[in-house]
Amino acid sequence: MNGRQRISVWFAQAVALSLSAACGDDGSSRPPDGDVLPGDVDAPADAPAETPAETPGDGPTDTPLDPGDAADVPEVLPDGAACGDTQCSNCIDDDGDTFIDGFDPHCSSSADNDEATFATGIPGDNQDRRWQDCFFDGNSGGGDDGCRFHTCCLLGAACPADLSGGFDPLTDCELSERCIEFCLPGTTPGCDCFGCCEIWVDGVSYTVYTNPAIAPDCTLDRIADPAYCPPCTPTTDCLNPCVPEDCELCPGMTVADLPPECSETPPACDPGVMPCETTADCPTGYYCSLGCCIEDVVLI
């Protein structure tokens, strides 16, 4: 059994355990008091309270899903919709790198229409070089998400001269609660809310700024070259960390990159967050990112 086949076996076990834990002492399917499903954030009003165990087209199948084999991916989502029509939601490995949709380090959301680069293919997205809004909401400007974070807060001394003039870290690096509450639930594991991400290439971790407005020529092949992929310091107040030591996948990682002690357990998600192989396994309004259902916060 290879590493990706293990994902399917682990996923089925994780879902079974999740459903078992969700049942109350009276045998009902209500979650115990205080539990939040599927994640640590409030679910959308139309999100189902639980995932049916044996609904056709929903959850894992008997055939292991290989992130590099689009033919194995289910064609129908739980709400009856087909796979999405963007490159990061269409259940296809569009750029031929063996990573599909939310497992591809280039994909930021279901609306991302460019699986081959860190750009999203969304007109008007992430255009501001100086002030950053939520990187994952599909547009530019903080008017709809409450985020206004200076680029130099991320790049430090390496901030370009044309951006550093007038920069005041005491005021320009403040985050509003509105920004955190909106953006963090939809932030890719391993990234902060502004696109400073821990990306793994050939077993090595790089924390770089992926925003194409600042790093237009950053690619996985150039990930170690700061001239193309500038190192960054993520903001800890709006960060969704990935911890390989806890069997969590980071962008660019496969199961084989996890520690040996993770070989008999599924790739992990944060407590209370639903595991997934594709977005088909997540409730409506959620996106499968690196094996975990995160909120789809796109506002386009």
Which residue from 181, 98, 187 is spatially nearest to 137, judged by alpha carbons? 187
* pLDDT at 82 > cutoff 70: no
pTM exceeding 0.85: no
Q: Are 253 and 200 in contact (CB under 8 A)?
A: yes
Q: How far apart are CA 136 and CA 239, in angstroms?
A: 13
Q: How far apart are CA 219 and CA 229, in angstroms?
A: 8
- The three-class DSSP label of residue 236 is helix
* pLDDT at 78 > cutoff 90: no
Mean pLDDT of the chain: 79
**For residues 101 and 10, which has the higher predicted lDDT (pLDDT)?**
101
Omega within 30 of 0 (cis) for the link into 38: yes
Q: Are 106 and 98 in contact (CB under 8 A)?
A: no
Phi and psi (nearest 5°) for 38? -90, -5
**pLDDT confidence of residue 142:** 65
Which tokens go with 121? 């293919």
* pLDDT at 131 > cutoff 80: yes
Rg (CA), the chain: 19
* Mean pLDDT value across residues 245-268: 89
Angle at 66 between CA 60 and CA 69, to 5 degrees: 120
Sign of CA dihedral 191, 105, 199, 270: positive
**Band (176; pLDDT cuts 50, 70, 90):** very high
Q: How far apart are CA 115 and CA 108, in angstroms?
A: 9
**pLDDT confidence of residue 300:** 63
* Mean pLDDT value across residues 111-123: 94
Task: Give 218-247 pLDDT, tens digit per residue.
Answer: 999 999 999 999 999 999 999 999 999 999
